[in-house]
């Protein structure tokens, strides 16, 4: 009998732990390919403020970090599982970001 929390019973869409590599950048096409989404989805998420490109030179090229690509994957996971609209997604990911900041603050207070 399998445990409710065994790794064998985990759904295939479970979000995994992630450590981005610093100073690694991907163009829009590569980021879309790695995230498994159309370029248009990334552009929509950028316009909504859910994902940020690292820099946009005057030539209009967008570059993304691994962290941004991971965020796109998290957005897609939430979209597939819960089907929220874009404003709700934005609110949810703003809350995720705030929780992350609060966790970091707690960690630093515990170390003092």
Is residue 10 in some structural domain?
Answer: no
Q: Provide the CATH number for the domain around residue 53.
A: 1.10.1660.10
- Closest by CA position to 11, among listed 85, 77, 96, 66: 77
Residue range(s) defining the domain that contains residue 40: 20-111
Evaluate whether 56 touches 95 at the Cβ level (below 8 Å).
no
Residue 13 is predicted with a pLDDT of 54
Answer for the pair 68, 77: CB distance below 8 angstroms, yes or no.
no
94 domain residue, yes or no: yes
Phi, psi of 21 (to 5 degrees): -85, 135
Residue 1 in any domain: the answer is no
Q: pLDDT of 46-65, one tens digit each? A: 999 999 988 766 777 889 99
Q: Cα 65 to the chain's mean position, in Å? A: 10
Total tally of structural domains belonging to the chain: 1
Per the domain annotation, does 102 fall within a domain? Answer: yes
Question: Is 66 inside any structural domain?
Answer: yes
Q: What is the pLDDT of residues 8-33, one digit of tens each?
A: 554 555 555 556 677 788 999 999 99
The mean per-residue pLDDT over the stretch 82-94 comes to 91
Say what the pLDDT of residue 72 is: 95
Q: Between 112 and 49, whose confidence is greater?
A: 49
Is residue 13 situated within a structural domain? no
Is residue 76, in this structure, part of any structural domain at all? yes
């Amino acid at each position: 009998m399998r445990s409710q929390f065994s790794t064998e019973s985990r759904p295939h869409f479970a979000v995994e732990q992630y450590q981005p590599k610093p100073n690694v950048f991907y163009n829009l096409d590569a980021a879309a390919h790695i995230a498994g989404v159309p370029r248009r989805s990334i552009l929509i998420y950028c316009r909504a403020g859910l994902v940020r490109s690292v820099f946009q030179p005057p030539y209009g090229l967008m570059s993304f970090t691994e962290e941004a690509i991971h965020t796109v994957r998290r957005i897609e996971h939430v979209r597939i599982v819960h089907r929220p609209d874009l404003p709700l997604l934005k609110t949810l990911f703003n809350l995720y970001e705030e929780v992350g900041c609060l966790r970091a603050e707690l960690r630093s207070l515990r170390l003092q």
